[in-house]
Each structure stands twice: as C-alpha cells, then as structure tokens.
C-alpha cells in the first residue's frame, strides 16, 4: 500500500520541481528582458528638419524620427508584455512550490495533502480528457499520459486510502 503512495508523492515532487525550474528560468529571462528594453535610449525629441531648406536629407531625417518614435512605442509595449510574463512566471513558481509541498505532504501522510492532491489531479484529469476530444489521433498518446497519471493519482489518493 505504501508503494502507491510513494509513487504519487514522487510524481508530485518531480512535477513541482520541473515546473519550478522552468518557471524560474522564464521569470529570470523576462525580468532581464524587461530591464534591457526599459534601458533603451529615448527617441530623438528634436524638432523636425525643414524639408524646404534641407530637401531630401530633411525628409529622410524626419522619417527616421518617426521610425524612432514607433520603435520606442514598440519597446514600451514589449516591456509591459515582459513584465506581464514575469508576473505569470512568478505565479507559476508559487504553484510549483505548492505542488512540491503537496508531494512532501503525501509522503508524510498528511490529510490536507491528500485532499489538495486529489483536487489537483481531478482538475488535470478533466483538462486532459477534454483535450483528448479535440486533438488528432497522432497526438492522442501524448495527451493520454497526463490523463492516465492523474486518474492513477486519484485512485491512490481517494479510493485506495479512503
């Protein structure tokens, strides 16, 4: 009986660790990207050149200023997107910590961990089974793995040790 519980506890701990490592990498990269984008120089704010006086050179210089402002607007948008990705990565990092701690709780036979693990497994099972209905037959085997693992986890946490 303890063998099944150890398998499920290891499943949660490994899943939490892998999710934590991935979200930590994304968090570090998005913070660096947001910092690098925000430290870009501001666009040229000088008044445009008179086209009548400078001719083609004035026209090209004015076009460069317009392009510089457009690029700066895109950089500001990119920095906001990088900050949003950083927030999502941080929330995912906290979720991975919860998954890992749930695995440790299951290993130590904590009641809260069984309940939380069962709820997580139920939600993953529902999502995976719903995904099985929309993916093509080639990818069905890949999507079936989390569905089977979550159903096994539900069996261990709910019916095996009820």
pLDDT digits (tens, 9 = 90+) for 118-139: 999 999 999 999 998 898 888 8
Structure tokens at 27: 């968090």
Interatomic CA distance for residues 23 and 89, integer angstroms: 5
Q: What is the dihedral of CA 56, 57, 61, 63, to 10 degrees?
A: 20
Q: Considering the entire predicted model, what is its pTM? A: 0.75
Which candidate, 87, 75, 86, places its Cα nearest to that of 32? 86
Supply the pLDDT for residue 67.
59
Spell out the residues 6+ positions from residue 152 whose beta carbon is closer than 8 angstroms to its own: 8
Supply the pLDDT for residue 81.
92
What phi and psi values does residue 75 have, to the nearest 5 degrees? -65, -40
pLDDT digits (tens, 9 = 90+) for 19-55: 999 999 999 999 998 888 877 776 656 656 555 665 6
Structure tokens at 134: 């929309």
Average pLDDT score over the chain: 84
| Residue 113 Cα distances to 3, 44, 98, 102, 109, angstroms | 17, 58, 10, 5, 8
Structure tokens at 93: 């990092």
């Amino acid at each position: 009986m303890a063998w099944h519980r150890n398998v499920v506890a290891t499943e949660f701990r490994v899943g939490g660790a892998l999710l934590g490592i991935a979200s930590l990498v994304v968090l570090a990269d998005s913070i660096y990207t947001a910092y690098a984008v925000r430290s870009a120089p501001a666009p040229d704010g000088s008044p445009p050149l008179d086209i009548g006086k400078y001719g083609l050179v004035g026209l090209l210089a004015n076009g460069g200023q317009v392009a510089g402002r457009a690029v700066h607007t895109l950089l500001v948008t990119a920095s906001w997107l990088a900050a949003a990705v950083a927030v999502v990565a941080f929330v995912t990092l906290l979720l991975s910590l919860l998954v890992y701690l749930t695995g440790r709780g299951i290993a130590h036979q904590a009641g809260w961990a069984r309940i939380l693990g069962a709820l997580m497994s139920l939600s993953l099972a529902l999502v995976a089974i719903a995904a099985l209905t929309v993916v093509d037959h080639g990818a069905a085997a890949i999507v079936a793995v989390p569905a089977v693992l979550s159903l096994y986890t539900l069996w261990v946490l709910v019916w095996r040790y009820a």
